[in-house]
Structure formats: structure tokens, C-alpha cells
Amino acid sequence: MLRRLVAFDTTSHLSNMALIDFVADHLAGHDVGSTRIENDDGTKASLLAVIGPRVPGGVVLSGHTDVVPVAGQDWISDPFTLTEAEGRLHGRGAADMKGFLAAALALVPEFLDAGLKIPIILAFSYDEEVGCLGAGPLIQRLVADVPAPFAAIVGEPSSMAVAAAHRGIDNFVTTVKGRPGHASATHKGVSAVAYAAECVAFLNRLETELRIVTASDDFDPPFTTINAGCIAGGSATNVIAPECQIDWECRTVPGVTAADVAGRLNAFVEQQLLPRMRDIAPEADVTTTPVVSVPGFSAPADSPATALALSLTGQNHPITVPFGSEAGMFKIAGIPAVICGPGSPDQAHRANEYVTSDELEVCAEFLRGLARWAARAGAD
């Protein structure tokens, strides 16, 4: 099953429809119906399926179908052909997170034979890697069409450790507009690149300052991080750049909000940059626009989702994870959530990404335990 899923190139800028067709056909082959929740232009879809009775108290198995790009990475094999080497199954998405999807889909016959008294619900989304864009409509449809679930298990790669918290993620675009001119007369122009560089330097200083606002040591790292990931502007060394764009993100711990971070940058711009820029070019401007917001996630100590996952794994305490996920969106929708899936988070987004056969089997046993629990209707 993992081999089939990896073979679909579902990089986020591409359609995932071929994979969704395959999953729907697989489920239909076992007499399980499914519902598609398409994006606005019909190029992508999430999939929702209920296995077992349509009664309250089911458990959602949540995962995303998209993967990150392979461009610029040094792969030892075709990223979209699952390749086994020394027990490692290499392929884009093997860990993040088609391994979990494969385990869930491969066990559909066992779920059907388990005598479920409450349902196991499959919720597969699109565009998680670019801001959890598909999860919102999918969760809305789930809440509208499916009796209230007991819990959601988000199968992001956690090495099958139970995770109950992660930081929030917010992406911004800062656009700097200056005044073009000849590079021999820099006193007559305003370089958007130069002032964008000051914005990046400020964000770096701000991250250092925010390290004193720490969360639980379970967070790794236990402070807010800021990263200016992309910058683009200018056309030639002898031209004063009229415009420059910075794509940046912050990952916030409890006690810090993305609005705090953006507000500090805006104050710096208003007080330090714009007066100097507009002294030469009154039309100069700097604007920061939010692009994507993924809510942070922190399950309460008495979360039934955490308790269920701990009981199925035999673990005693949950951990936190450094990445974002759709878990916070389930929590906001009133569905207790937890993160637990095969593969190491260290493998995500890297060349030669892999999951091991042993990890997949541990995940399969976890899901078999879930099916046995659902067959008892959560009696214990």
C-alpha cells in the first residue's frame, strides 16, 4: 500500500486527485463509501469515509496526502518509487505521512471484520504542507455529516510516540517599496533591498529577545522561533531596487502570539525605517500581510484522545513535537486530538526520506488495538 501511495506525486503545487481516486476505489472495493471535499477549482480534494456504524463516539484517523518538493535534494533513488534498503523504505512521503495512510488503508479489511460498535473515520486532507488549507473544509464536513467523534488521531511522524502539543505557525509576507534609480546616485533613490535587509536583521534580533519567553521544556525548542525563509528583489547591481519581498514565519509558544511578533516589526518599521525612507521618497512603504496561520496545539491534561493513545501504545506520558499539524484545528472544532504516527520527524522534508518496516508494523498493531477498543465501544 505504501508503494502505491508513494508512486503518486502529490507535491503540494500539484493535484492529488489521482491518489484520491485510488483511495476511493480501494474503499469501494470493500463496500466502504467515501465523500470528496474539493477545493474551489476542483484540482484537489480531501476524502472522508466512515467504517462501521454511524453512531457517536468514533475515532478519526487524520492524515494529509500532500508532500513537500524534492527539487534541489540529492536522492539516492527515484523519490516516487518506494525503494527498500536495509529495512528502510525510502520515498517522498514515506514518513510524512503516507506511512500512516498506508497502514490505515491496508487495515480496512480488518476494521470491517472487527465488529466495530463505534466507527473508525478516515479523514485525508490536501495542502497541509502549505498551511493546512484542506483541513478546514474537511473538518467542517466531518462535523456536519458524522456523529460527534470521541477523538482524532493525527498520524504525523512521531516515531509512534504520543504527542499532545506543538507550537503555532504563522506565515507573513513583508513587501518593501522604495524608489528606483541609478546606482551612481544612491542618495536620490531608496533601495528596497537595503531596507528589507534591515527588516530581516530586526526579525533575527527579535527572535533572540523572545528566547527569554519560554514554554515547558517539553517543547523543542521551548521558545518562539522566527525565520526569514525567502527574499526576492532587485534586477541588477547598477539599479536601485524599487521593490523587495520577504517571506517569513514565526512558530510561537504559549505566551507569545503571531500578532505580537508582527506588531513589533510594524513598530520598528514605523519608528525607524519609514521616516528615513520617506525623507527621500514620500511614496515609499513597508507592509506586512499574514498569509497562513496554523493554530498551536495543546491537549488538556485530561484529554480522552491522549488517554486513548497512551493506553494503546503502553506509554506513560505524552511528548511535544517541533512541527505543526492539523491537530489544533480538530481541537478548535471540539474534537479531542492527539498526534501519533510512524516515522521519525527528523526524516520529514529531507532527501532519502524513509520509514522502517518495523515502524509500519508498530503502527499497524496500534491500529489493530484501536479496532479492538472500538469493538468494545470503549467500554474499558
- Active site positions, annotated: 66, 128
- State the Cα–Cα distance between residues 8 and 124, nearest whole angstrom: 15
DSSP strands (E only) in the chain:
35-38, 45-51, 59-64, 83-85, 88-90, 120-125, 151-154, 163-166, 168-177, 181-182, 225-233, 239-240, 243-252, 285-294, 297-298, 319-320, 337-339, 354-356
Is 308 in a helix, a strand, or coil?
helix
Return d(Cα 306, Cα 215) in angstroms, integer: 20
Q: Which residues lie below 8 Å from residue 301, measured CB to CB, with a gap of 6+?
A: none
Contacts of 365 (CB under 8 A, 6+ apart): none
Of the candidates 74, 73, 163, the residue with the CA atom closest to the CA atom of residue 345:
163
